[in-house]
Chain A
C-alpha cells in the first residue's frame, strides 16, 4: 500500500486559513487521495477526495500537486469546531471496497 506522511501536529487561529500538507511520493495512477477527520471521541468523517484535479466542497478544498506526490487540504476559515485529527489516505479504486488504512494523521489545534 502506498503510504502518506503528515506532520504530527499543527496550530492555527480561528477565522484564518489552514493548509494541511500530505506527502505521498509512491502514489500510483489509480490511487485516489482521501481526507478524513476525527473529532474528539467520535468516529472519523469524510472530508474530501480527489484524483488529479483540485476539488472544492462545502467543508474544504483539496489541492493536488501536478506530479500527485503531495496534496494539501485547505480549510478556508477555521473555526473551533475544526479542531480534530486529519488523516490523508490513499485508496486504490480498482479493488472495490478496499480497506482504509489510517496513518498517524495531523492533530490540528485552533486557537480562539
Chain B
C-alpha cells in the first residue's frame, strides 16, 4: 500500500529559529500533498495544498510567509516554519494523493515544540 514518511517525528526548537518538516511518498508519485496542523483534542485543520512544480495554495488565515511550502518533486514536499514562536507549537501532519479515487495517505505527524 501507499506509504508516506514524515520526518522528524518530534522537534524542539528555540523561539526565532526555523524548522523544516519533510513529507515523502515512498512508493508512489504524489501529484498533490496537503499540510495540516492539529492542536490537542482538536480536529485537523488544513493549512495548504501543495502541487508539484507550482506554488502552494494556502487556506484563509494561514500566513504563507511563515509557513513555507516547497513541493520540488513528485515524492517530496517540505514545510518550513519560519521564525517559530511558542504559539506555533502543534502537531503537523502531511497527506499525499495520487489524484485518483484511492484516497489519501497520511504521514505519522511531527510534534513541534517551540521553547
Contact = CB atoms under 8 A, between A and B. Distances in A.
Nearest to B33: A97
Interface residues of A, number: 23
- Is the contact region of chain A dominated by helix, strand, or loop, or is it mixed? loop
Given A43-B107, A43-B108, A104 B43 contact: yes
A102 to B, nearest CB: 4
A41 B91 CA distance: 8
B108 A103 contact: no
Contact of B34 (A34, A38, A49, A99): A99
A97 B99 contact: yes
Contact of B103 (A49, A99, A102, A105): A49
Interface in B38-94: 43-46, 49, 91, 93-94
Interface of A: 32, 34, 36, 38, 41-46, 49, 85, 87, 93, 96-97, 99-105
